[in-house]
Structure 1
Amino acid sequence: MRFFLLLLPLLLNAQMLQVGDNVTPIKLISQHDKEYTLVKNGIWIIAWDKTTTKMLNQYFDEHKMPENLNIIVDTSQIPSGIFSFFVRPSMKNYKHSILLSFDEKYNLTLPFKEDMITLLYIEKTKVKKIIYIKNIEELEKTFK
């Protein structure tokens, strides 16, 4: 399944963002129904599955989230009924904003590595750096 996801950008003619690429503005809603437009300077931290989302939520439940950070969760693969009845209600318990990305084609343009969180450093609408985080220890070192 993950192999198919890696090939899907090629099949849909989408290219993953790379350092130096411009970021397309996108409007996302949080788990608290607040709308955000992403393009400004800062860090996008992207979780791709239940495990990486849980790691992010655990970390930011215990640590203050930097102002310039946006947590984005790929929700495009979750069936709508499961998302509406189970996933979203559990996300509402978190005080930090979790931006929900339902657009599968857009999500395929975001850099991805299996079982890792993606950090995109954005400056003046360009990707300046991409980092992949595999565990909470690496996440703690990144945000010290």
Structure 2
Amino acid sequence: MRVIFLILITSLMLNAQMLQVGDRVKQIKLKSQHDKVYTLVNNGIWIISWNKATTKIANRYFDEHKMPDNMNLIVDTSEIPSGIFSLFARPKMKKYKHPILLSFDKRYNLTLPFKADIITLLYVKDTKVRKIIYIKNSQELEKVLK
């Protein structure tokens, strides 16, 4: 069973091309933790969180600083079982005022630049990726977003 899962994940990864500087981003709509629909910004910064720890870092930052209109906080929720998400994760996210955009689409998430336990900052201008930065901790996030 585990082998089948690994083969499936590998084939998904091979089919999904990870975004790089110069690539065009898809204009997609994601729901927030409050069920409001948002279109990802064409000009601004996508802050992408991949797990609970990196999401906490981003949420703490936006608790202390107002999120500008040209930023999106995107959280990969594709790996969370729906029952766990509905019962535990979403209720915790609802306490935050800033929008947390929930990306359940595993295939789309595989196109986003990823490093384990790292926050990805994707700088987008005119729907093109201009710069990618990887953030390890809250101090780096604070420094980059000032």
Same fold by TM-score greater than 0.5:
yes
Q: What SS does the aligned partner of 1:130 have?
A: strand
Count residues with an aligned counterpart.
139
1:21 corresponds, among 4, 20, 23, to 23
Q: CA deviation at 1:52?
A: 0.2
Q: Distance in 1 between matches of 2:109 and 2:130?
A: 19
Q: Does 1:124 align with 2:126?
A: yes
Per the TM alignment, residue 109 of structure 1 is displaced from its structure 2 partner at its CA by 0.2
Q: What letter corresponds to residue 71 of structure 2 in structure 1?
A: L
Residue ranges of structure 2 left out of the alignment (5+ in a row) = 1-5
The residue that corresponds to 1:98 in the other structure is 100
The partner residue of 1:74 within 63, 76, 79 is 76
Question: How far 1:10 moved relative to its partner?
Answer: 6.0
Counterpart selection for 1:51 from 39, 50, 53: 53
Name which one, 1 or 2, has greater alpha-carbon Rg: 2
Confirm or deny that 1:62 pairs with 2:67.
no
Unaligned runs of 5+ in 1: none
Query: 55-64 vs 128-137, which deviates more?
Result: 55-64
How many Å separate the matches in 1 of 2:18 and 2:11?
A: 7
| Matched residue SS, 2:15 | coil
**CA–CA separation in structure 1 for the residues paired with 2:134 and 2:145:** 13
Q: Structure 2 vs 1, CA of residues 79 and 111 (structure 1 numbering), >3 Å: closer, same or farther?
A: same
Residues 60 and 143 of structure 1, relative CA distance in 2, 3 Å threshold: same
Q: State the alpha-carbon separation in 1 of the partners of residues 52 and 95 from structure 2.
A: 16
Q: Is the 2:120–2:135 contact (alpha carbons within 8 Å) kept by the matching residues of 1?
A: yes
Cα distance change on mapping 1:125 and 1:9 into 2, 3 Å: farther
1:84 pairs, out of 63, 69, 86, with 86
Shift of 1:8: 3.7
Distance 1:69 1:9 in 2: 32
Q: CA deviation at 1:68?
A: 0.6
- Structure 1's consecutive aligned runs of 4 or more residues displaced over 2 angstroms after TM superposition are 7-12
Superposition CA RMSD, Å = 1.4
Q: TM-score, normalised by structure 2?
A: 0.90
